[in-house]
Amino acid sequence: MEGGQGSVWNTGNYFWEEKSVAKWAEERLKTVLGGFSHAIPSGDFKIVAVDKLKGEASVSIRKGKKIVAYDYSAVLKWEVSVRDGEGNVVASLKGSYELPEVSSDIEDDGEQWEVRPSIKEETPAGIKSRYESTLIRKEVPEALRKAIREGFVSELK
> What's the rounded mean pLDDT across residues 8-13?
58
> To the nearest whole number, what is the mean pLDDT of the chain?
88
Residue 115 near residue 144 (C-beta atoms within 8 A): yes
Q: What is the pTM of this model?
A: 0.85
Which residue ranges make up each domain of the chain?
A: 36-56+69-156
130 sits in the region (left: phi over 0; alpha: psi -120 to 50; else beta) called alpha
d(CA 110, CA 31) in angstroms, rounded, equals 25
pLDDT(15) > 90: no
* Percent of the chain residues topping a pLDDT of 70: 87
> What's the rounded mean pLDDT across residues 11-17?
62
CATH topology of domain 36-56+69-156: Bactericidal permeability-increasing protein; domain 1 (3.15.10)
Radius of gyration of the chain (CA): 19
Give the closest residue to 43 by CA, choosing from 91, 99, 82. 82
pLDDT tens digits along 134-144: 889 999 999 99
d(CA 17, CA 147) in angstroms, rounded, equals 29
d(CA 41, CA 131) in angstroms, rounded, equals 10
**Residue 1 pLDDT level (bands cut at 50, 70, 90):** very low
> What's the rounded mean pLDDT across residues 2-29?
73
